[in-house]
């Protein structure tokens, strides 16, 4: 997918919000974490669009260490829910799609593809197992955030879930270098009756130096 701004968009760049206020509301203020979903399927094309948008978000050296496993079949879903706490099982079972998000510990092996100009710098910097691993985790977690916002931008809802990630590793990724970090239920959500919990305000969480 290639994005080329129109002349009009170029001239407005930096002067206007990218989205209208109502679009910002639709993307940020309105969507809630969903724990129930309508009986309505999500297409492969939608999953493809989620992936494409997610991978446009920034990562260190463009490393993109996130890997996505779509859980579509009933059999795979049964294997997934074994590694969720009891209170999360039903939430995962009735979502049309679950995504297991993982990081790839061997992300550097594709440096010639994701950053051909900096391949040598990457190899020169990520010289210890600790650096390689923390970059994989940090950047995949960032991408997990982009993933949820991209999914919402496309009109779908998300329900992120914690899991027994060691158990999930053994179940789906045993012997590989992919390590799961998050489960995300995806579909058309049925809103909760509970109001949103408090979000911190500007003065509580920012400082200016
Ligand atoms: C990393 C992560 C783990 C989460 N784990 C669970 C979970 O195990 N079960 C659950 O019901 N919600 C889980 N959530 C959802 C959060 O509780 C929810 O997104 C947050 O309270 C904000 O709710 P809101 O979007 O309705 O405002 C998780 C969210 C994230 C990002």
In ligand 1, which atom is closest to the CA atom of 196?
27
Confidence check: pLDDT of 11 > 80: no
Quick one: pLDDT at residue 142?
Answer: 99
Confidence check: pLDDT of 209 > 80: yes
Averaged pLDDT score across all residues of the chain: 95
Choose among 74, 112, 109, 116: nearest CA to 95. 74
Query: In the chain, which residue ranges form alpha helices assigned H by DSSP?
Result: 7-12, 21-24, 44-54, 74-81, 86-93, 111-114, 119-125, 129-153, 165-168, 202-205
Quick one: pLDDT at residue 15?
Answer: 78
99 CA from centroid of ligand 1 (Å): 15
Quick one: pLDDT at residue 137?
Answer: 98
167 CA from centroid of ligand 1 (Å): 20
In ligand 1, which atom is closest to the CA atom of 91?
11
Tens-place pLDDT, residues 167-203? 999 999 999 999 999 999 999 999 989 999 999 999 9
| Entry field: residues in the chain | 209
Choose among 56, 50, 62: nearest CA to 139. 62
Output the pTM of the full model.
Answer: 0.94
Pocket test for ligand 1, best of 29, 34, 161, 163 (most atoms within 8 A of CB): 161
Q: What phi and psi, each to the nearest 5 degrees, are found at residue 160? A: -70, 145
184 CA from centroid of ligand 1 (Å): 10
Q: What is the dihedral of CA 106, 111, 114, 118, to 10 degrees?
A: 140
160 CA from centroid of ligand 1 (Å): 6
Confidence check: pLDDT of 7 > 70: no
Confidence check: pLDDT of 3 > 60: no
Confidence check: pLDDT of 154 > 80: yes
Confidence check: pLDDT of 25 > 60: yes
Mean pLDDT of 146-165: 98
Written in H, E and C, the secondary structure of 128-171 is: CHHHHHHHHHHHHHHHHHHHHHHHHHCCCEEEEECCCHHHHHHH
Mean pLDDT of 54-69: 98
Consecutive H or E run containing 101: strand 97-104
Question: Could you tell me what percent of the chain has a pLDDT over 70?
Answer: 93
Quick one: pLDDT at residue 118?
Answer: 95
Residues in the ligand 1 pocket, defined by CB under 6 Å: 32-33, 35, 88, 160-162, 182, 196-197
- The pLDDT-based confidence of 4 (bands split at 50, 70, 90) is low
**53 close to 153: Cβ distance less than 8 angstroms:** yes
CA distances from 95 to 43, 47, 204 (A): 13, 14, 36
Tens-place pLDDT, residues 66-93? 999 999 999 999 999 999 999 999 999 9
């Amino acid at each position: 997918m290639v994005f080329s701004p129109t002349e009009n968009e170029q001239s407005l760049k930096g002067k206007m919000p990218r989205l209208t206020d109502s679009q910002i509301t639709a993307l940020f203020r309105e969507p809630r974490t969903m724990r129930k979903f309508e009986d309505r399927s999500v297409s492969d094309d939608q999953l493809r669009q989620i992936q494409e948008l997610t991978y446009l978000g920034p990562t260190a050296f463009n490393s993109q260490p996130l890997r996505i496993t779509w859980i579509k079949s009933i059999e795979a879903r049964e294997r997934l829910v074994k590694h969720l706490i009891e209170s999360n099982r039903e939430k995962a079972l009735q979502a049309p799609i679950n995504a297991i998000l993982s990081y790839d510990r061997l992300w550097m092996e594709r440096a010639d593809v994701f950053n051909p100009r900096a391949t040598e710098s990457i190899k020169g910097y990520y010289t210890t197992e600790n650096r390689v691993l923390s970059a994989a985790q940090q950047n995949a977690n960032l991408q997990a955030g982009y993933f949820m916002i991209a999914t919402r931008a496309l009109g779908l809802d998300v329900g992120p879930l914690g899991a027994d990630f060691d158990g999930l590793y053994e179940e789906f990724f045993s012997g590989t270098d992919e390590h799961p970090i998050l489960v995300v239920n995806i579909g058309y959500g049925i809103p909760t009756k509970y109001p949103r919990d408090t979000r911190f305000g500007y003065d509580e969480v920012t400082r200016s130096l």
